[in-house]
Amino acid sequence: MAKRLDVSDLDIYYDKFLAVQGVSMTIEPRSVTALIGPSGCGKSTFLRTLNRMHELVPNARVEGKVMMDEEDLYGPNVDPVRVRRHVGMVFQRPNPFPTMSVYDNVAAGLKLNNKRMKRSDMDELVERSLRSANLWDEVKDRLNRPGSGLSGGQQQRLCIARAIAVQPDVLLMDEPCSALDPISTGAIEDLIVELKRDYTIVIVTHNMQQAQRISDTTGFFNLKAIGEPGALVEIDATTKIFTNPGNTATEDYVSGRFG
């Protein structure tokens, strides 16, 4: 549980187009790392390389290294499917499986990993995941109702429950609150802070207050120039990035002077 990610000199391509260039960063376990930056600068693209979702786009590829503790995620013998079982992901819009009940949604990943789990063990894991996602009390009486019948915020917490049910080492979140109202957003933020006790969390966000509220480390991405690839400008403790950043572009961005 909760492993360290070490990214070095990562170049991310869509076919021949270099989208993100030369990212190096260390993501500490049991912490929240926020990635901020203007739209189109490659934050989400970078996030998707951490669980090898990026390569699902035809001809997309990366060069460089991503280490999870001692394991090279892009090593020659590494199966991307196995990487994704250890690196969970929550998306911008809640995406519970619409044809499945609340229970089955949470159990979906478990069933992929472990085909012959006992029903009682499964029940226990589903309950524990829903409790960790602060959703249990709201859905315990309707576990067999469709997951798509929940509210947006509940659906997003359901997706978080689904992601943590398989006990991943790292949890990636791609703007998990951008489709939610402030109250649901608050619930998810509280949850993220609770979850960092057990997981390594990387979150992409456009909301700088959010980054300040929940993250320990913040990385600022930006385009080098129009038409140039995106790059990591700087990464540092969140308080430093927001009060005394080392780069003027970062300062302009976090103070709202551009972007």
Partner 1 sequence: MRKGQTVPPTSERTRTRGAPLSLGDRLFAGSATGAGVLILLVLAGVAAFLVAEAWPALTASEDEIPGGEGLVLYIWPLLLGTLLSATLALLMAAPLAVAIALFVTHYAPRRLAAPLGYIIDLLAAVPSIIYGLWGFSVLAPQTVSPSGWLAENLGWIPFFAGPASSTGRTMLTAAIVLAVMILPIITAVIREAFLQTPRLHEEASWALGATRWEMIRLSVLPFGRSSMIGGSMLGLGRALGETMAVAIVLSVSADAFSFNLISSSNVATIAANIALKFPESSGVAVNVLIASGLVLFVVTLLVNMGARAVINRRREFSGAN
Q: Are strands 32-36 and 217-223 parallel, antiparallel or unpaired?
A: parallel
By beta-carbon proximity to partner 1, the closer residue of 81 and 225 is 81
User: Which 8-67 residues touch partner 1, going by CB under 8 A?
Assistant: 51, 53, 56, 58
How far is it, in rounded angstroms, from Cα 163 to Cα 165?
Answer: 6
| Least CB distance to partner 1 at residue 226 (A) | 28
Segment contacting partner 1 by CB under 8 A, of 39-47, 95-103, 200-208, 224-232:
95-103
Q: Does 93 bind partner 1 (CB under 8 A)?
A: yes
User: Which 98-157 residues touch partner 1, going by CB under 8 A?
Assistant: 98-101, 108-109, 112-113, 145-146, 148-149
# chain residues binding partner 1, by CB under 8 A:
33
Q: Does 209 bind partner 1 (CB under 8 A)?
A: no
Q: Does 78 bind partner 1 (CB under 8 A)?
A: no
User: Which residues, in sequence order, are CB contacts of 107 under 8 Å at separation 6+?
Assistant: 122, 125, 126, 165
| Least CB distance to partner 1 at residue 201 (A) | 15
| Least CB distance to partner 1 at residue 232 (A) | 23
By beta-carbon proximity to partner 1, the closer residue of 43 and 162 is 162
By beta-carbon proximity to partner 1, the closer residue of 40 and 98 is 98
By beta-carbon proximity to partner 1, the closer residue of 109 and 245 is 109
Q: Does 159 bind partner 1 (CB under 8 A)?
A: yes
Q: Does 176 bind partner 1 (CB under 8 A)?
A: no
How far is it, in rounded angstroms, from Cα 177 to Cα 184?
Answer: 8
How far is it, in rounded angstroms, from Cα 202 to Cα 200?
Answer: 7
Q: Which residues are near partner 1 by CB under 8 A? A: 51, 53, 56, 58, 81-86, 88-89, 91, 93, 95-101, 108-109, 112-113, 145-146, 148-149, 159, 162-163, 166
